[in-house]
Structure 1
Amino acid sequence: MAIKVVKNLVSKSKYGLKCPNPMKAEYITIHNTANDASAANEISYMKNNSSSTSFHFAVDDKQVIQGIPTNRNAWHAGDGTNGTGNRKSIGVEICYSKSGGARYKAAEKLAIKFVAQLLKERGWGVERVRKHQDWNGKYCPHRILSEGRWNQVKAAIEKELKAFGGKANIFSSSSSGSTYTVKKGDTLSEIAKAEGVRVANLQRWNNIKDPNKITVGQKLKVKGSSFSSTKPNNKKNFYELPSSVFAVTSPMRKGSDVKQIQKALAALYFYPDKGAKNNGIDGVYGPKTADAVRRFQLMHGLSADGIYGPKTRAKIEALFK
């Protein structure tokens, strides 16, 4: 039975703020809310506030409510004005994410079915599903990630999609779950996202020097570290963090201390990873680093000022212990 969607769409007078661009969606992005509000409250607040932040659907334990038309973009992915997440993906917020419990579990279950329904309607496979983290590094959907269940959630979506009669995941691994056979049109980046691993890891595990050179029929090892966990697997990944305070200044501060901050944030998936060498770590405390610090602070209950100081250092170090 199809899931009924209750429409409570933003006023067209607010399109310029909330959803200014026509959109032909290519992905679905899953979020966890940062509070325990219902879908009705989430959509009402999103529609009526003066912030540009917006999303298409909110799902709680009882219903799905739509706030933005799916043929308009929404500002939910944090990857910029022209970012793929913001401009080409449908944003789905799972409610009651802060405290979890029975209401959250029911909301997540309904969201899984609803995302499968969206995929079926569009003739898509589960490879079109993304987490917020994929677009800008933010630790979201935070509850799913902190519980290490991203791959489990994707598998549940695929199971529901198959029940709907939808297409199979073109990025499914072999039955062993440790290899993937390259198909026509695949890119290493898309395979990495679908498998929840880094492009750099795929290159290392498969001795690939040029990420643009993979061949149809090639079997890739895909087993290894995923985005699902905040904590490194062992203390060898610990970074000696500086005790100094860092903020964006003019001229911008540079040095090995800043690199250590960037490396630690990259290990926790907050520092942008665009596939560049060393994750784009440049040792410069500029807007990019400050934004990564700000997002880290926001997700860990700190004052989100983008300034690296004692409290931020302590919170980062605690995640590596």
Structure 2
Amino acid sequence: MTEIWIKEAERLGGGKIGGDMDTPSAPPRVVWHTTESGTGPASFTAVASYLTKVASEPHILYDPTTDRLGQYGPLNQSARALRNDGSLRTNRTGRVCVQIEVLGRAGQPFTSTWKPGPNFRALMRAIRSWGVPDVWPAGRLAASYADNASRSRSVWQTKGGHYGHSNAPGNDHWDPGNIDQSAIFKAAGASGGGSSSGGSTSTSTYTVKSGDTLSAIGTKTGVKWQTIASLNGLTAPYVIKPGQVLKLKATSSAPAKPVVSVAHLNTARTKDIPAPTGHTTYKAEVLVVENALVAEGLLDKQYADGSWGTKTDEAYNAFRRRTGYTGDAAKGSVGLESLKKLAAKRGFTAKA
């Protein structure tokens, strides 16, 4: 199932940034950019506002140091981050052309210092849902402004996969810099299909091509078509579509979610705030909540240390206000209801 809106991402702007794709039958692709800015909550807020102000919105804004993820518009429509190449509207090329602005600078490749987490994996999950293969069709990325990385128009129009802004025809930027291309896929987890030679099988998934049937896919992959149908919830008449990603084997069980106790958080809050800076009571559980608040853009990463200090308290209150709490309900002791809301968004379990 293709993803138009990423459920883990914050909504940025008004939700409408472009229009229909010009060549929806062309292969899907992704373009990586850097914002040429700092990182962290303040930069995320400033850049998010600036891109809207100058009408240069991408689909996605991502902070590689906090794993914060924002989305401006639907992935099945165009964004505004590329220049046209003459009459070729580069933003509208392909089944999708997902534009990702990463906080950082081309001269300091973000894969050298990043901390990808569940939000990055969610981003890649959505990208792969459109059948974007784990390849870089244009080859290497530019290592400097003067570096002439490939900007082939024919490759751009005919090959799906991942591109840098430095690979887009009609554009002169060199971002995202010389990032580790393989690190993008490693951080995302299991492959979503595709190979540099144009194939589309992997050990766990298969991307449907035009003319494919379940029987033909079974022959290609060595997996019984009945098994493929069962794994993907398909029933007669077994309709599949080009670009659809099919599972070829059962997904392994997800690791257990961390459990956070409201009682433990309130004990930590009572003891850590008046104690010397850095005092911890239930460090592991507090750290889970602090990392969730960092991902929400409400707490600076430097304060995620397992100690429930005043910065953590203020950030948690801000989360409560964001989710509709007012007055006394938006401050003071941690409540189970608000903690469950944070847990649902950030992958942990809340208990009394």
TM-score > 0.5, shorter chain as reference: no
State the structure with bigger RCO (CA 8 A, min sep 6), 1 or 2. Answer: 2
Indicate the TM-score class for this superposition, using the shorter chain for normalisation.
0.3 to 0.5
Query: Normalising by structure 2, what TM-score?
Result: 0.37
Query: Normalising by structure 1, what TM-score?
Result: 0.40
